[in-house]
Amino acid sequence: MLTKRLIACFDIIAGRVTKAVQFQDNIDVAAADELAQTMYEAQIDELIFYDITASSEKRPVDIETVKKVARCVFIPFTVGGGIKELDDMYEALKAGAEKISIDSMAVRNPQIISDGAKAFGSQCIVLSTQVKRTPSMPSGYEVYIDGARLATGLDALEWIKKGQELGAGEICINSIDNDGMLSGYDLELMKLAESSLSVPLIASGGAGKPEHLKALFEKTEAQAAIISSMLYSPRMESNYAVSEIKEYLIENGICMRPTRV
């Protein structure tokens, strides 16, 4: 049986992982390749890197960091930030990434989703989106871009369905309201998203303890969950080990890839 996936997510500035709360007050954590290797050895299932200043600095994604990571990490990893065209995707894939995440750029130019899917296959294209509770929207959630600063007027559910139609192979939804709050995933949002998609959903925003993952996987059909603070945030009194999280989930009947001793 296919297992649920735990994905460690890194927000990267100048080759270093940082941790923010609701997209602000980033503090330094570690060098990206070192933390990636630590997570690999801890047997995380997958990694995602967001080069969070690439877009605003109008430069392509940090390929050198991607290459460094690819040499020491032998699990799938996704790269996002600063991806504007097919060449950017090709460079990141050639550097060793499995998948490309597109977010704000896809809202500005949805065709990049279909172009990417045609060139490299749907399995390479992850549509990531930041959404915020907005009662006036049909689904109750609105899409935000540019580091969650700019409201788009797009309904979250409409947007992810369109992304899937255009060829995205996975959809990653981050709840802006829950991001960094350590109070659990927005289960209502994830349920809504998962039931309207046929491609896998990656849930993001709010995980603070293993119980939050249990609730996500029991109450929704999300295939994967992003965790970051739990694993490495210096803001937490103590972090969780990957093995500890997985053991807890397996004990609770959730299908996971067990950690090997």
Contact residues toward other proteins (CB under 8 A) are: 1-5, 40, 43, 45, 70-72, 74-76, 90, 93-96, 98, 119-124, 169-170, 198-200, 223-224, 257-258, 260
Of the two residues 22 and 123, which places its CB atom closer to other proteins in the complex?
123
CB of 18 to other proteins, least distance (A): 26
Of the two residues 140 and 200, which places its CB atom closer to other proteins in the complex?
200
Of the two residues 17 and 95, which places its CB atom closer to other proteins in the complex?
95
Other beta carbons within 10 angstroms of residue 59's beta carbon come to: 12
CB of 224 to other proteins, least distance (A): 7
CB of 38 to other proteins, least distance (A): 14
Distance, CA of 20 to CA of 142 (rounded, Å): 21
Distance, CA of 77 to CA of 80 (rounded, Å): 10
CB of 76 to other proteins, least distance (A): 5
Q: Is 62 helix (H, G, I), strand (E, B) or coil?
A: coil
Q: With beta carbons less than 8 A apart as the criterion, state whether 222 and 203 touch.
A: yes
153: alpha, beta or left, given left = phi > 0 and alpha = psi -120 to 50?
left
Give, rounded to a whole angstrom, the gap between the first and last alpha carbons of the chain: 22
CB of 244 to other proteins, least distance (A): 18
Of the two residues 2 and 24, which places its CB atom closer to other proteins in the complex?
2
CB of 190 to other proteins, least distance (A): 15
128 Cβ contact partners less than 8 Å away, ≥ 6 residues apart: 80, 101, 102, 103, 171, 172, 173, 174
Distance, CA of 207 to CA of 135 (rounded, Å): 23
Of the two residues 78 and 175, which places its CB atom closer to other proteins in the complex?
78
Of the two residues 137 and 199, which places its CB atom closer to other proteins in the complex?
199
222 Cβ contact partners less than 8 Å away, ≥ 6 residues apart: 4, 190, 194, 201, 202, 203, 216
